[in-house]
Structure 1
Amino acid sequence: MKEQIELLRESLHKLMEINSCLYSNEVVKLSQELDKLIYAYYSRAVEI
C-alpha cells in the first residue's frame, strides 16, 4: 500500500509540474485516489 501511495504522489507531482492547472480531470482523479489510499493505509496502521 505504501508503494502505491508513493507512486501516486509522484504521478500527481509530475502532472502539477507540467501543468499548473490543478483542476484538470486527471489531477483531480489522482488526488482523490491518493486520498483514498492514504485513508485506508492509516486506518489499518491505527488498528495495529
Structure 2
Amino acid sequence: MTNRIAIILGLLIVGAIVVDAMFFGTEHLIFLAKKMLELMEWIAFWR
C-alpha cells in the first residue's frame, strides 16, 4: 500500500465517521469502538 492510498483511505474513514456522527449522533460510535477493541484483543490472542 502506497502512502497516497493510505492517506486517501484514512480520509475516507474519518469522513464517514464525521458524517455518521453529524446525522446519527455519537452514542453508537462508543459501542462500535468497544467492539473493535474486543475484536483486536481476540485477533491478538489467536496470533
Q: TM-score, normalised by structure 1?
A: 0.49
Please tell me whether Structure 1 or Structure 2 has the larger radius of gyration of its CA atoms: 2
The structure that is helix-richer by fraction is 2
Q: TM-score, normalised by structure 2?
A: 0.50
